[in-house]
Amino acid sequence: MKRTVITHSEAETRALAEELGRNAARGSVFALTGELGAGKTIVAKGVARGMGITDEITSPTFTLMEIYEATVPLYHFDLYRINREEELDQLFFEEYWEGDGVSVIEWADRATGRLPDGCVNITIGYIDETGRSITIEYPGD
């Protein structure tokens, strides 16, 4: 199933992502793509809030991954600084993606060949300064 939602503000984008977080199960993987500043981290914040995580969620651009402990842990990845897929060989992120937590991967297109088959692909596009077109593609489409 694929659906596209238009949001008109950061709050609407976060609310949509909160719904995803509320419905996330152990092992869920959200693969986020979109231009710089499109709202990938806003989606990560919404998923976390939907999972009941109240920690401050920031983009792990320099650390590449942050773990947020909860009933179901959240693994938040930012692959922006990955230049070649081979760089992932030494990071072993697949162990998290295939684990029992929920993974949110910003810049997921930098790890296309490594993502699990069952991931939810989310593409965020600009409409205007605050408007976004968010396409959510569920596994099996």
Per DSSP, the residues of 118-141 read TPEEEEEEESSSS-EEEEEE-TT-
Distance between CA atoms of 110 and 123, rounded to whole angstroms? 14
Q: What is the pLDDT of residue 95?
A: 87
pLDDT digits (tens, 9 = 90+) for 45-100: 999 999 999 999 988 878 899 999 999 999 999 999 988 878 888 888 888 888 89
pLDDT at 139 over 90: no
CB 61 within 8 A of CB 88: no
The CB-side HSE value for 141 (13 A sphere, CA atoms) comes to 12
Task: Spell out the domains of the chain, with CATH numbers in brackets.
Answer: 2-114+127-137 (3.40.50.300)
Q: How confident is the model at residue 12 (pLDDT cuts 50, 70, 90)?
A: very high
Whole-prediction pTM: 0.93
For the four alpha carbons of 2, 26, 99 and 16, in that order, the dihedral sign comes to: positive
141 band by pLDDT with thresholds 50, 70 and 90: low
